[in-house]
Structure 1
Amino acid sequence: MELNDKAAVNGEGVLDVSNANLDTFTADSVSSEKKRNTQQLYLNNNRLCVLPSSVSSFSNLELLDISNNGLSVIGEHITRLVKLKTLVAKNNRLNEFSLPKDFGSLQLEVLNLSGNCFKEIPLQCTKLRRLQSLSLGGNRLKSIPVEIENLSRLEVLYLGGNLISAIPAEVANLPWLTYLALSDNCIQSVPPQLTRLHSLRSLSLHNNQLSYLPREILSLVRLQELSLRGNPLVVRFVKELMYDPPSLLELAGRTVKSGNVPYSRQDLPDHLFKYLDLASKCPNPKCAGVYFDSCVRHIKFVDFCGKYRLPLMHYLCSPECTTSPCTSNPQSDAESDDDNSVPADRLQRVLLG
C-alpha cells in the first residue's frame, strides 16, 4: 500500500488510514522513524477481516482505532504494543473467542468493543488492571462476570443494549465507578450493595424490567442522573396517578367526619347515616383525614432533581396527603418516614419518560 497524503504521519504523531476501502494493510512503506513517531493509528471504516501483524511495528502507539471493519479476531501481535492505552474496535464481528490469551497484559485505559457479537465478557478484559473505561454495548451479553471487580480503576462501564438479566453485587466493588449504563437489558432488580458506589454520578437503567427500587438507592450521595423510563415501575407509577377522584358524596362525608360536624340518625336519611359510619381513617399516621371508597395509592417524590423527582409508592386517602409519608408499599421497601432525611439538592435529573 502506498500511503497518500491523507495517510501521512502529521506533526502530532497521527496516522490516519480510515475510510480508504482497504481489505489489507501493511506498514512496509512507512519509514522506521515515522513508525516510532506514530502515537495514533486510525484504520476504521475499511474492509479489514484480520488485524494486520504489521501494526505491532508501531512501537509507541497509544491509540488504535479499528472500528467498522469485518474483524473476527485480534491476533497475539497486538500484545507487543506495550504503550497502547486506547483500543476502539466497535462494530466488527468479534466475540469472546476473538481476543488473544495474553490480552490482559496490555496497559489499556480505554477499551471499546461495542457493536460486536460477544455473549460473554472475556475474562482477559477483567485482567486489564489499568482500565478506566469499558464499553460493550450492543452485544449479546447475558451476564456480568463477578471478575468485573478486578477492574479497580474503572470509571465508566457501558453495557447497554444487551441481554443482561442481573447485576452482580461485585459491581459495587468498583470504587471509582462514575458512569454505569445498563439500559436496554432484561434487569429485574438492583442489588442494594450498589450503595457502596460512592463515586457514581450517572446510572442508566431505562428499558429494563424493574418493578421496584431498593431503599439503598438513596444512599448514592453523588448520583446526579438516574434514568428509569421504560420500566414496569414507572408504568405503574403513571397509571397510579390516573385514578377516579372522590365523588361529591364522599367529599361531603369527609367534610362531616374530619370537621366533627354533629349529626344524628334523626337528621339524616338511613342510607346516609350508614354511609357515614363506614368512614375509615387515613393510614398515614400524620394525617387526620378520612376516606370512604377512594383510598388510593399515590406517588411520593422523595428527592429533588429539577422537573422530576425520585418516585416511591405511598397509600393516600387524598391528593392533599402528598406532603406527608404514608403507609408504604411493601414491594418497594424504599420509603422514608422523615421528609427531611434526603437532601433537597441531590439528584439533578430522574428520567421517567
Structure 2
Amino acid sequence: MEGPEPAEGEHILNLSRLGLDNLNLEQISDERRKEVQQLLLPDNRLVVLPPAVAAFTQLSLLDISNSTTAYIGEEILGLTRLKTLLAKNNRLDEFSLPKEMGSMKLEVLNLSGNQFEEIPSQLLQIQTLKTLSMGGNRLKSIPAEIENMISLEFLYLGGNFISHIPPELANLPYLSCLVLCDNRIQSVPPQLAQVHSLRSLSLHNNLLTYLPREILSLVHLQELSLRGNPLVVRFVRDLIYTPPTLLEMAGRTIKSRGIPYSPWELPGNLVRYLDLASKCPNPKCGGVYFDSCVRQIKFVDFCGKYRLPLMHYLCSPECSSPCSSVSSQSESDSEDEAMAAARRMQKVLLG
C-alpha cells in the first residue's frame, strides 16, 4: 500500500487521491485515531464506507467524495462528534444510509451528484442540520416533512427533476439560501414570502411563467436568479375566473358593507370564513374576495430595467386594475409599494 499523504496537521488525516479500495485504516495506531478530527478519503474506490472509520471517535469532518461509495453502514452512527459529512459524486441512493441516521448531530451534509430519487426520511429528522446539498440527483419532489429541519440555513437541490415547491418550506425560520435551479418548477407558492430570512433564491432554468406578488415582501432578498425561464424569454398574461358561490356572494356583501357579526350570531365555521376575506388590490375598489377571484399577471419594474410578471388577484373581471396594462404610465399606490420593494433587491439575474 502506498503511504498516506503528509498530514496537514495533527488533527487532520489526509488519505485522498490514492485510488485504493482498501485503505487499511486498522493499521493506524489507536492513539492517532483518537486525535484525528478530520478524515479526508476522497478520490478512492470505497464501495462501502470502511468499518474501521468507527474507531475515529473524535471526528468532526469526514470526506468520502468521488469514491464510488454505494453504502454507508451503521458504524457512522458511533461518530457522535461528527458535524460535517461530505459524500458527493458517489453511487448513493435512498437505500444506502443507516435507518438511525436521523439521530446524528450533523450540521453540514453534502450528497450532491449521487442517485437519490427522494430525500431519505431519516435525513428529514436531523434537526441540527444547517446545510443540505443534494444537487445533481434524481429527486422528483421535496417532501412536506422538510419543515422538520428547523435549523436549515442552506438548501441546494439544483439539477434534479423537481416540479413542485411545497409551501412547508415557509416553516424554516433560518433558511437564507434556497437553490432550486435546473429543475421543472412551474410556480412558486406565495407562502415562500414568509421566509423573511431568505437572502438568495436561485430559480433559473425552470418552467416559471410568473411569480406571486407576495415575493416582493422578501425585503432581505439580495439575489434572485430567474434566467432561462419562460417569464424571462416571453411574458405571458393569463385570466382565470370562477364565478362566486352564494356563500361567497353573501360574505362579500357582509364585508364590503361593514355589517357587524359575532360568534353569538353566526356558526363558528361562518365566522372563520368571513375572517379570511382578502381585500381587492385595486385602490379604486373597496371589494373583497374569498375563493373566487381573477388571476392575472401584473408587470412590475425591477431595477428600472426589467418588467417582471407577478401574480395579481382581483375580485372580479369588471374590476380593472390600473396595473393591468404593460404600457400604462399611471401607477397606483400599490404598484409604487411593489416597485419600492423591488428596488431593495441588489441583484436580479434575468439575463
Q: Structure 1 length as normaliser, TM-score?
A: 0.74
RMSD of Structure 2 on Structure 1 (CA): 2.6
After superposition, residues 315-330 of structure 1 pair within 5 angstroms as 315-316=324-325, 318=327, 321-322=328-329, 324-325=330-331
1:332 alignment counterpart: none
Q: Secondary structure at the match of 1:237?
A: coil
Q: Secondary structure at the match of 1:339?
A: helix
1:231 alignment counterpart: 229
Q: 1:62 to 1:73 in 2, by over 3 A?
A: same
Cα distance in 2 between the residues matched to 1:317 and 1:35: 67
Out of 333, 336, 341, the position equivalent to 1:339 is 336
CA deviations 1:99-121 (Å, max 9, x no partner) are 00111111100000000000000
Report if aligned partners of 1:302, 1:339 keep a CA contact under 8 Å in 2: no
1:259 alignment counterpart: none
1:24 alignment counterpart: 22
Report if aligned partners of 1:308, 1:349 keep a CA contact under 8 Å in 2: no
Give the superposition deviation at 1:218: 0.7
Which runs of no fewer than 5 residues in structure 2 stay unpaired?
238-281, 285-296, 312-322
After superposition, residues 90-105 of structure 1 pair within 5 angstroms as 90-105=88-103
Out of 167, 173, 176, the position equivalent to 2:174 is 176
Q: Secondary structure at the match of 1:19?
A: coil
Instruction: Give the share of equivalent positions with the same residue, in percent.
Output: 60
Give the superposition deviation at 1:69: 1.1
CA deviations 1:14-35 (Å, max 9, x no partner) are 1111101111122222111211
Out of 14, 38, 41, the position equivalent to 1:40 is 38
Out of 148, 152, 157, the position equivalent to 2:155 is 157
Q: Rg larger in 1 or in 2? A: 1
CA deviations 1:161-215 (Å, max 9, x no partner) are 0000101111110000000000011111111111110100000011111111111
Q: Secondary structure at the match of 2:98?
A: coil
Q: 1:350 to 1:238 in 2, by over 3 A?
A: farther
Q: 1:350 to 1:309 in 2, by over 3 A?
A: farther
Residue 66 of structure 1 aligns with an amino acid whose one-letter code is I
After superposition, residues 205-284 of structure 1 pair within 5 angstroms as 205-237=203-235
1:126 alignment counterpart: 124
CA deviations 1:206-264 (Å, max 9, x no partner) are 1111111111101111101101111111111399xxxxxxxxxxxxxxxxxxxxxxxxx
Give the superposition deviation at 1:344: 6.4
Q: Secondary structure at the match of 2:201?
A: strand
Cα distance in 2 between the residues matched to 1:116 and 1:103: 18
After superposition, residues 8-157 of structure 1 pair within 5 angstroms as 8-157=6-155
Q: 1:236 to 1:85 in 2, by over 3 A?
A: same
Q: 1:285 to 1:158 in 2, by over 3 A?
A: closer
Give the superposition deviation at 1:3: 3.6
Q: Secondary structure at the match of 1:337?
A: helix
Cα distance in 1 between the residues matched to 2:140 and 2:46: 28
Give the superposition deviation at 1:36: 1.1
Q: Structure 2 length as normaliser, TM-score?
A: 0.75
